[in-house]
Amino acid sequence: MPGPSRILIHEVGLRDGLQMEGRTVPTEKKLVWLRRLLRTGVDVIQVGSFVHPVKIPQMADTDRLFKEIAASDDVPEGVTLSALVLNEKGLDRGLACGVEMFCMGVSASETHSRKNTGMGIDEAAGRIIAMGLNARSAGKRVQVSVQSAFGCGYEGNVPEERVLALVRRYCEAGLKDISLADTAGHAVPDRVEQMLSAVREIDGGVTLACHFHNTYGLGLANAYAALKSGAVSFESSVAGLGGCPFTKIAGGNVCTEDLVNMFRAMGIRRDVNLDELIGVAVDMAEFFGRELPGTVYRTGTLVQTGL
């Protein structure tokens, strides 16, 4: 199992967490949450996505968020700000406002790919790889993903070979920071171990990330399986908010404070400020006026019991 120094936490709540919410969060409130998240010690924070504001209104202020935070002294050394891009126009917008890390991906489900991007798998892969290379040539970090890597809400099972074919295309292009995204929440631990092992057989130099949804309550179990199988980066959402609006059943992300709580009890990433994460989750619950999917912001943490 990887040692604590190798495990990275990529907080995606401000993007994947908020994109499903019907109540628009004011930019000023997002900045409050962003500044608090910057104090938690997580490694990467996904500020938003560059998508059409009509399709995802919650992301309409992503350019402004990047510009405002870049003009401040609030970003600690070693923390990276990321954004999701779906197309060339989004990449141009991200380059213009100073995004440090671009996340972009292709779905292994033909149906999900067309609903999410309007393109089939092959066309989407060609465009995403070209975008990734362009972003890297501009000096930016690039993470490419395979979405619906463990199943699709529309198609059901997604053949493993279809996932691995996309991984091979990424590796052949030299894009080896790769995330496997369980968009529909269909992953189970043994398949996670099998899939990550197969990816490592393709190229041992791949930096493995994972992005699990908790649609069927298996998010943390899958994260643990990924940890055992060599994943070094975990994407999660504060308070467990989120879900893909273009899948059949949208389930929340693995909850960041729950994930950190598990890691800390295992002796991993005890440097992360769990109290601050819980504080953000509590504030989000108050803002939205409902109980959110996360657990430890309501129950307290294992650290409090001496573990």
Q: Measure the CA–CA gap between 165 and 176, rounded to whole angstroms.
A: 14
Q: Measure the CA–CA gap between 209 and 196, rounded to whole angstroms.
A: 10
Report pLDDT for 82: 98
The correct answer on CATH 3.20.20.70 for the domain covering 4-305 is: yes
0.85 exceeded by pTM: yes
Report pLDDT for 246: 46
Report pLDDT for 4: 40
DSSP annotation string for 154-185: TTB---HHHHHHHHHHHHHTT--EEEEEETTS
Report pLDDT for 116: 77
φ/ψ (deg, to 5) at 60 = -65, -20
Report pLDDT for 212: 96
Under 8 Å between Cβ of 303 and 264:
yes
Report pLDDT for 54: 87
Query: Which portions of the chain are predicted below pLDDT 50?
Result: 1-5, 245-250
Q: Is 244 a catalytic residue?
A: yes
246-276 residue pLDDT tens: 444 445 899 999 999 999 999 999 999 999 9
Rounded to 5 degrees, what angle do the CA atoms 212, 42, 173 make? Answer: 60
213-247 residue pLDDT tens: 998 999 999 999 999 999 999 999 999 998 554 44
Report pLDDT for 244: 52
Question: How many other CB atoms are there within 10 angstroms of residue 137's CB atom?
Answer: 9
The residue extents of the domains of the chain are 4-305
The Cα-based distances of 254 to 62, 73, 159, 201 in angstroms read 23, 30, 24, 27
Report pLDDT for 307: 52
Report pLDDT for 304: 58
Q: Measure the CA–CA gap between 164 and 5, rounded to whole angstroms.
A: 28
Relative to beta strand 101-107, strand 44-50 is: unpaired
Q: Measure the CA–CA gap between 86 and 17, rounded to whole angstroms.
A: 17
Q: Measure the CA–CA gap between 193 and 160, rounded to whole angstroms.
A: 12
Among residues 97, 103, 152, 244, the one annotated as catalytic is 244
Q: What does the buried/exposed string (b/e) look like for 164-181 if buried means 16 or more CB atoms within 10 Å of the residue's CB? A: bbbbebbbebebbbbbbb
Report pLDDT for 1: 44
Report pLDDT for 247: 46
